[in-house]
Structure 1
Amino acid sequence: MERTESVRTGSIVLPPLPEVVAELVMMIGQEQVHGAQLARVVGRDPALAGATLKLANSSFFGLAGRVASMQDAITLIGVNAVRNMLLILGMRNALRPPAGHFDTYAFWLHALETAAAARALARTHGLCGDEAFLAGLLHDLGKLVVACARPDLLARVEAHAREQGCSFAEAEIAIGESGHEEAGLLLAGAWKLPEALAAAISRHHRPAPDDPVLVHLIHLANLIAHVAQGEEGSEPAPRLQRSSWQRLAPSQSDVERAVIAVRRLRARSGEWRALLAET
């Protein structure tokens, strides 16, 4: 499978994105993607297509044994949902930290929970649910960059977060290192992700008051995903930015709906762990 070239930025070498996944990224900005177009692109990567079909046939989607082809998956689940599955699998393959240095299952579970919360919040704020889901799914990609390129830094940040009982982002600031948001921005540029996604990836902890509403929504969704984990969470919730709360002005029902979405997904975390291990 062909890949784009890797990019070196300072001490970090950003991994290349598989060609097929790069084409899927280009589809994000298109107003309408046809199922036949998506199936044609993915058909050039049998391994990625096979992993996606396995995921589509899981009990999570309630379609066990019914998805025999990519076209079946697109028809039964929808173009955007299939594209999102392909992206998470493709990016996961491109960003694989050294074994034993990073809990990738916990990482992707939190990404899925943030995505679920973002989708639940999206409609109230006039955003496309699939766009919000994808932004939530990718918001912490910078952590994977740090885990892959600087496992020593990752260990120091995580140790400080544990010792001080603070969030990962607060630990980065405390030890004076460039944060995962900056690493995520570099990756978004190297992989040519759309500007809206790059903004959510690079500013989800400290959104500016005039940032697009999607950035503020991912900030809140990330916080809700951490809080909804309760004692099961791997780290304390980050600080809520007042500007985001004022910009979104969420109702109690908005927040409750997002919390329920996160908890429903976490209740099936064992299934997601098994699926990620198999694919």
Structure 2
Amino acid sequence: MMGERIDLSGIVLPSLPEVVTELVAMIGQEYVHGAQLSRVVSRDPALAGATLKLANSSFFGLAGRVASMQDAVTLIGVNGVRNMLLILGMRNTLRPAAGSFDTHAFWLHALETAAASRALVREHPSMGDEAFLAGLIHDLGKLLIACARPELLERIQSHAWREGCSYAEAECAIGDVNHEEAGLALAEAWRLPDHLSAVLRCHHAPDADAPMLAHAVHVANLIAHVAQGTTGEPGPRLQPSSWQRLSPAESDIERAVLAVRSLRQRSGEWRALLAQT
């Protein structure tokens, strides 16, 4: 699928700010120094300020302890800070019109999926930060459609509500651009690494040979949807190949579920934090 040409039906792909583009280029680098990260973000004071506010939130247990980017790097780590910068930069780039899309619910689900993804790769510590980032960005195609094709978004949501099906099933029934295609187009335009592009293009049904992160996000996405219970859309169907690739221990599943439930219990706090950043 990576080589196929996608008909975006008039969707215009937004460009990332220069600073965020430089942060994307850091993904996958073997070593990024905190000073290098600080120099890059210093050119965007608004992004730096929002990141420090996020770092000082109770989600990291560091309230009032992060006064500078260097503090954030020391207490959270280079990759953790980079992930915060990336997601805030991408969020600022993809902002649907007010009232057309529940962005708070979108980012809460993204955060839940990210937390579950990290829990599922516990046996691979080096993948933890990448799994968290992959979970955060897996549904960016939905945001792109909400920004560029609000009428398509309304048709998809109306069909899903009317038929009691998932968002992805509604997309399939309508037969227009789906959010995985839109996500892949974004990944290519923003030059995301192949393993993250794979997450955006096939997190609902990963290919058997897809990167491990795609399978982790697939299972994490399912866990996050199940945690919504009757208040959310039906979750995706579990792909046996993803379960086989991950081979998660029962303790990993329990840890992922607990991470999602903890975040969902604090959804009001998360909504307030997003409004401030």
- Tell me which interval the TM-score lies in, with the shorter structure as reference length: over 0.9
Deviation at 1:106, TM superposition (A): 0.4
Query: What is the DSSP-based 3-state SS (H/G/I as helix, E as strand, rest coil) of the residue aligned with 2:12?
Result: strand
Q: Say what the alpha-carbon RMSD is for the aligned residues.
A: 1.4
Is contact 2:135-2:217 (8 Å) kept?
yes
Unaligned runs of 5+ in 2: 1-6
Identity of counterpart residues, as a percentage? 75
Q: Structure 1 residues 84, 126: CA separation in 2 closer, same or farther (over 3 Å shift)?
A: closer
Map residues 96-135 of structure 1 onto 2, 5 A cutoff: 96-124=95-123, 128-135=127-134
Alignment counterpart, residue 245 of structure 2, candidates 236, 244, 247 = 247
* Counterpart code for 2:161: R
The 5-angstrom pairing of residues 63-102 of structure 1 reads 63-102=62-101
Shift of 1:178: 2.0
Instruction: Tell me which residue corresponds to 1:271.
Output: 269
- Corresponding residue number in structure 1 for 2:219: 220
| Contact residue 125 and residue 248 of structure 1 kept, 8 A | no
Please, what TM-score do these two structures have when normalized by structure 1? 0.94
2:27 counterpart residue number:
28
Question: Which residue of structure 2 lines up, in the alignment, with residue 4 of structure 1?
Answer: none
Task: Give the letter aligned to residue 218 of structure 1.
Answer: V
The CA deviation string for residues 122-143 of structure 1, in whole angstroms up to 9 with x for no partner, is: 1235651001000001000000
- Per-residue deviation, 1:118: 0.2
Runs of 4 or more consecutive aligned structure 1 residues displaced over 6 Å after TM superposition: none
Q: Report the alpha carbon displacement of residue 243 of structure 1 after superposing the two structures with TM.
A: 1.8
The residue type equivalent to 1:262 in the other structure is V
Query: Is contact 2:120-2:216 (8 Å) kept?
Result: yes
Alignment deviations for residues 220-262 of structure 1 (CA, whole Å, 9 cap, x no partner): 11001111222332x1111111221222232322211110111
Q: Quick one: which amino acid aligns to residue 256 of structure 2?
A: A
Unaligned runs of 5+ in 1: 1-7
Aligned residue number for residue 161 of structure 2: 162
Opposite residue 147 of structure 2, the aligned amino acid is C
Q: What is the aligned length?
A: 271
Alignment partners' CA distance in 1, 2:19 and 2:44: 7
Partners in 1 of 2:90 and 2:259 — Cα distance?
A: 24
What letter matches 1:257 in structure 2? Answer: R
Q: Distance in 1 between matches of 2:231 and 2:50?
A: 28
Q: Residue type matched to 1:139 in 2?
A: H
166-175 vs 247-256, which moves further:
247-256
The letter for the 1-side match of 2:231 is E
CA distance in 2: counterparts of 1:220 and 1:176, whole angstroms: 25
* Residues 1:83 and 1:126: Cα distance change in structure 2 (over 3 Å): closer
Whether the 8 Å CA contact 1:74–1:82 is kept in 2: the answer is yes
Indicate if the aligned counterparts of 2:8 and 2:182 stay in contact, CA closer than 8 A.
Answer: no
Match of 1:242, as an amino acid? P
Number of the residue aligned with 1:179: 178
Match of 1:5 in 2: none
